[in-house]
Amino acid sequence: MDIATLIGIVAGFGLIIGSIALGSPIGAFINLPGLLIVLGGTLAATFINESMAQVFSAVKVATNAFFERKHSKEEIISRVIELAAKARKEGLVSLEGEDIPDPFLARGVQLGVDGLSPEIISAILYGELSNLKSRHQRGQAIFKFMGGTAPAMGMIGTLIGLVQMLQAMDDPSSIGPAMAVALLTTLYGAVLAFLLFLPIASKLEWRTRMETSHKNLAITGVESILKGDNSMVIQSKLDAYLSPSEKAEKAGRDKA
């Protein structure tokens, strides 16, 4: 679980609700017609813009914003070096049934055990990586679209509220509800866009970059195992995927 995402959403909405409660009743900021216009209109526009399957796929992709990868790059590097050492001594077949925590790395190793050529294995793994990136980028695009649409629907709600207000100028009791729709829809649109949809899209982009880096590392590791590279060569190749901070942490642990 990515606590940062959860904290951000809870804190964001909590601060907004709390600031409202300090100045006026919460009920004054709850407007069903406004919610229907903004939330319903955003969802409707999304379904018009995308297929049903893509929208539901985006919801699945969005779960990546709430979960972090379980296995670090260093864990994958260490496992690759162990597997390569065993493969050099006992042959690729000896890796059959090995416990490999990373599923993508495990798939690449199994393809090698099954006797596929390194070129075919690389093509398969890069193809899977390309498809993953396409799915994730589609999900990101949908949340970006929703982030751009929500404020626009809020503006539409504002215009509707203003028209209703102008039509009710002779009835003072109707001006308040119409003005509430006009103002609250803008608020709803801004909150949904800048506190939910766009931050999720941004975090999904970052998650995709991290996932791509992990999978490229795994592919390089599989290729090294198949080539029979020694531990020093593999370490040098795979360390290139570590960030400066990760390299510094690793160097610190090695010295200790």
Q: Are 217 and 77 in contact (CB under 8 A)?
A: yes
Which residues of the chain carry a pLDDT beneath 50? none
Residue 223 inside a domain? The answer is: yes
Total domains in the fold of the chain = 2
In tens, the pLDDT along 165-193 reads 888 777 777 777 778 778 899 999 999 99
Domain membership flag for residue 103: no
pLDDT value of position 254: 65
Same domain, 54 and 21: no
Are 179 and 127 contained in the same domain? Answer: yes
* Residue 96: DSSP 8-state: T
The whole-number pLDDT of residue 182 equals: 83
**Pair 10, 132 in one domain:** no
pTM, two decimals, is 0.83
What residues make up the domain containing 57?
A: 31-74+118-255
Tell me: do 131 and 23 sit in the same domain: no
Q: In whole angstroms, what is the distance from residue 237 CA to residue 117 CA?
A: 21
Residue 15 lies in a domain: yes
Considering the domain architecture, whether residues 16 and 143 belong to the same structural domain is answered as no
Q: Within a domain: residue 96?
A: no
- Domain assignment of residue 97, yes or no: no
Question: What pLDDT, on the 0 to 100 scale, is given for residue 66?
Answer: 81
**In terms of domains, do 55 and 18 share one?**
no
Predicted pLDDT at 3: 86
Are 5 and 36 members of one domain? no
One domain for residues 24 and 40: no
22 with 123, same domain: the answer is: no
One domain, residues 26 and 123:
no
State the Cα–Cα distance between residues 256 and 252, nearest whole angstrom: 6
Q: What pLDDT was estimated at residue 248?
A: 78
pLDDT tens for each residue of 63-99:
888 877 667 888 899 999 999 999 999 999 999 988 8
Taking the chain, what is the end-to-end CA distance rounded to the nearest angstrom?
30
CA 246 to mean position of chain CA atoms? 22
